[in-house]
Chain A
Amino acid sequence: DSGVTQTPKHLITATGQRVTLRCSPRSGDLSVYWYQQSLDQGLQFLIQYYNGEERAKGNILERFSAQQFPDLHSELNLSSLELGDSALYFCASSADYSSYNEQFFGPGTRLTVL
Chain B
Amino acid sequence: DAKTTQPPSMDCAEGRAANLPCNHSTISGNEYVYWYRQIHSQGPQYIIHGLKNNETNEMASLIITEDRKSSTLILPHATLRDTAVYYCIVPRGTGNQFYFGTGTSLTVIP
Report A's interface with B, CB cutoff 8 A: 2, 4, 31, 33, 35, 37, 42-45, 48, 50, 55-56, 58, 88, 90, 92, 97-100, 102-108, 110
- Report the bound CA distance from A35 to B42 in whole Å: 13
- Report the bound CA distance from A88 to B42 in whole Å: 9
CB neighbours (8 Å) of B43 from chain A are: 2, 4, 90, 92, 105-108
- How large, as a class, is the contact surface on chain B? 20 to 34
CB neighbours (8 Å) of B101 from chain A are: 42
CB neighbours (8 Å) of A2 from chain B are: 43, 45-46
Q: Are A107 and B44 in contact (CB under 8 A)?
A: no
Q: Are B97 and A33 in contact (CB under 8 A)?
A: yes
- Report the bound CA distance from A69 to B93 in whole Å: 23
